[in-house]
């Protein structure tokens, strides 16, 4: 992640802690936006008490960052967030939702709407890092205008006791989405749902879900692509089982309502092949190092987490 801070929002527990905005990106609390811009109310389920409103009006080339933290015990967050990217604007965004330490017994509900106007572009990385006693549900509606492009990745390497990641992606004509969600869990219950609606001609949606279950983790991953127009889509839903008591359910589903649409999927759930482990051992790695290497490869590159504008490695949290 870049050290350059263009615009940012930080929330600690239930209070907005800091907002840094510039002339190209409007950042308000959701409550402020609800009051100031009546037109924004259509994006909220109800009058918001927490969360952020980000409105990218011009292309800046610098990242927008948000951080929603739980720092105290027994906090319940209900963050309603709106990200609005104006027509033709390109934005890069990095978000972290996290508990600052273990055993805070927090509850985080995130309800986000990302709206891209026609031909807008967004590259969005969202990292979660929680304590093992937290309870988290994050729901995102992604609404993509014609010709817009989104690269959207979600990662969670420290899962709470219960994690639900829910995404609804609505893609209009000639718009393109590349979505990936990767979660590694040692314990706890993880549910990952994503529905991608191809609503316009030449729309393209790709969904990649990666689930890695260690020890006693229980996963359910359900991905669905619904083609309503002559569009293309692909999903892959992959699970790695690394513990005897772990469990993964992968449910890929394709719904084609248009004869000119082309949608495909692949899915696999299993342990790391012994051939691969032995091969890596023959390159001098121990069995544990071999497994770690494969898992890291499966997850992709490590993501930093930004707290108060400072880059932190996720391992520093706990």
Partner 1 sequence: MSLLKIDNLSTEVDGKGILNKLNLKIEKGETHVLVGPNASGKSTLLYTLMGYPEYNVTEGKLLFNDEDITDMEIEERTKRGIAGVYQNPPAINVKLSTLLDKISEGKKQFKSIEGLEGLLDRDVNVGYSGGERKLSEVAQVISLDPDFIILDELDAGLDIENLERISQVVKEELSDKTLLIITHRGRALKFFEPDYAHVMMNGEIICSSKDSQKIWKTIEEDGYERCKEC
Q: Which residue has the tokens 């969904």?
A: 207
Contact residue for partner 1 among 278, 310, 313, 315 (CB under 8 A): 278
Contact residue for partner 1 among 70, 79, 120, 280 (CB under 8 A): 280
Cβ(124)–Cβ(118) below 8 Å: no
Cβ(56)–Cβ(81) below 8 Å: no
The residue (of 23 and 288) whose beta carbon lies closer to partner 1 is 288
Judged by DSSP in three states, 306 sits in strand
The residue (of 254 and 299) whose beta carbon lies closer to partner 1 is 299
How far, in Å, CA of 231 to CA of 205, rounded? 8
Q: How far is the CB of 246 from partner 1 (least distance, A)?
A: 19
Segment lying near partner 1 (by CB under 8 A), choices 183-191, 212-220, 280-288, 302-310: 280-288
Interstrand relation of 162-171 and 189-198 (parallel, antiparallel or unpaired): parallel
Instruction: Verify binding: residue 275, partner 1, rule CB under 8 A.
Output: yes
The residue (of 259 and 301) whose beta carbon lies closer to partner 1 is 301
Angle formed by the axes of helices 287-299 and 274-281, to 10°?
120
Q: How far is the CB of 285 from partner 1 (least distance, A)?
A: 6
Q: How far is the CB of 276 from partner 1 (least distance, A)?
A: 5
Which residues within the stretch 283-302 sit at the binding site for partner 1 (CB under 8 A)? 283-287, 289, 293-294, 296-298
Q: How far is the CB of 122 from partner 1 (least distance, A)?
A: 25
How far, in Å, CA of 233 to CA of 208, rounded? 11
The residue (of 217 and 290) whose beta carbon lies closer to partner 1 is 290
Q: How far is the CB of 298 from partner 1 (least distance, A)?
A: 6
Q: How far is the CB of 184 from partner 1 (least distance, A)?
A: 14
Contact residue for partner 1 among 26, 281, 308, 312 (CB under 8 A): 281
How far, in Å, CA of 42 to CA of 34, rounded? 9
- Joined tokens for residue 210: 């990666």
β-sheet bridge partners, residue 90: 121
Sign of the alpha-carbon torsion through 185, 167, 63, 232? positive
Distance of CA 214 to the CA centre of its chain: 21
- The dihedrals phi and psi of 289, each to the nearest 5 degrees, come to -65, -40
Instruction: Verify binding: residue 273, partner 1, rule CB under 8 A.
Output: yes
The residue (of 28 and 277) whose beta carbon lies closer to partner 1 is 277
The residue (of 24 and 236) whose beta carbon lies closer to partner 1 is 236
The residue (of 50 and 303) whose beta carbon lies closer to partner 1 is 303
- Joined tokens for residue 182: 């990767």
How many residues of this chain interact with partner 1, rule: CB under 8 A?
A: 19
Cα dihedral 245, 298, 303, 65, rounded to 10, equals -100
Residues that bind partner 1 (CB under 8 A): 273, 275-276, 278-287, 289, 293-294, 296-298
């Amino acid at each position: 992640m870049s050290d350059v801070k263009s615009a940012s929002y930080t929330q600690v527990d239930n209070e907005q802690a800091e907002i840094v905005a510039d002339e190209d990106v409007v950042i308000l609390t959701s409550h402020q936006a609800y009051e100031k811009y009546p037109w924004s109310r259509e994006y909220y389920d109800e009058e918001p008490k927490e969360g952020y409103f980000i409105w990218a009006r011009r292309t800046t080339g610098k990242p927008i960052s948000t951080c929603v933290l739980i720092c105290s015990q027994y906090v319940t967050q209900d963050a309603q967030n709106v990200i609005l990217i104006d027509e033709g604007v390109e934005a890069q965004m990095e978000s972290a939702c996290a508990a600052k330490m273990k055993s805070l017994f927090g509850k985080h509900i995130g309800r986000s709407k990302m709206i891209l106007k026609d031909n807008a572009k967004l590259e969005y990385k969202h990292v979660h890092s929680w304590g093992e006693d937290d309870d988290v549900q994050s729901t995102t509606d992604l609404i993509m205008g014609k010709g817009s492009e989104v690269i959207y990745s979600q990662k969670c390497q420290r899962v709470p006791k219960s994690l639900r990641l829910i995404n609804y992606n609505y893609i209009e004509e000639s718009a393109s989405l590349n979505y990936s969600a990767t979660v590694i869990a040692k314990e706890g219950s993880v549910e990952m749902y994503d529905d991608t609606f191809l609503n316009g001609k030449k729309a393209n949606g790709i969904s990649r879900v990666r689930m890695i279950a260690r020890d006693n983790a229980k996963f359910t991953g359900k991905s669905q692509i619904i083609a309503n127009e002559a569009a293309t889509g692909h999903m892959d839903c992959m699970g790695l089982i690394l513990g005897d008591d772990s469990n993964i359910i992968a449910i890929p589903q394709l719904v084609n309502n248009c004869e000119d649409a082309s949608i495909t999927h692949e899915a696999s759930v299993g342990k790391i092949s012994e051939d691969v482990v032995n091969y890596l051992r023959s390159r001098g790695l121990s069995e544990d190092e071999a497994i770690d290497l494969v898992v890291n490869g499966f997850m992709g590159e490590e993501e930093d987490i930004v707290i108060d504008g400072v880059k932190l490695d996720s391992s520093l949290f706990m």
